[in-house]
A and B are shown apart, each in its own frame.
Chain A
């Protein structure tokens, strides 16, 4: 199953609902294009909803890191929402759980972005 994304705007925050697999090839490219597109339109508050992402490989992890640093370098914020256990465990063992701002409540996550 490849990856799909769809965007929603909530109180100035773009929520990117992701589903499928973030892996080498199509999944990673989809995520990269989605984040670049948002930044190109000036949307710099990005909440990646990974609730329906049940698989991610090292390339996908790299893509999440790339998205995080790209948004940050442009003065924005990228946070993660609703990690599945598999993704949560992967971010734990790679020590990235403490790098990313990870949320599990959408409303609270939206409020946590700077004004």
Chain B
């Protein structure tokens, strides 16, 4: 099976968050994932897009967010990049720690990790790249071609 790849370059706005989420939902559905998995994938993409727009690019109109969707026989891989200063992984708190339970933020990365099978975060001085991977399960998905 050949891989399918779609890329979007988006502004640092809230509309981008919604667009990324909608695209993820559509592509995951086309890839044959069930409703529950589609919701989780779309939400993980939404949270990653929020991080890119807010914390990465800080709504800077001169900076872009890129979202790549790649579908192979085994995986749906979504890569989101911003042009910010780079996420400091040491500063991400554990949202399940008792002292953090009532904090009003800091759950995005946790939810992403909860909803995806694999998550890779690559911060650099020129931005952060986060790769979200969902394994394709079941033979019914294999061979089903996405319409792009």
Contact = CB atoms under 8 A, between A and B. Distances in A.
Nearest to B107: A58
Q: What does DSSP make chain A's interface, helix, strand, loop or mixed?
A: helix
Given A57-B46, A58-B50, A69-B102, A94 B107 contact: yes
Interface in A77-104: 86, 90, 93-96, 99
Nearest to B17: A24
Interface stretch (B72-80, B84-92, B108-116, B136-144): B108-116
Contacts of B107: 58, 61-62, 94
Contacts of B108: 58
Q: What does DSSP make chain B's interface, helix, strand, loop or mixed?
A: helix
A80 B123 CA distance: 38
B96 A95 contact: yes
B101 interface: yes
Contact of B101 (A57, A58, A96): A96
Nearest to A99: B101
Interface in B91-111: 95-96, 101-105, 107-108, 110-111
9 contacts: A24-B54, A57-B43, A57-B47, A58-B107, A65-B103, A66-B104, A69-B102, A93-B111, A94-B107
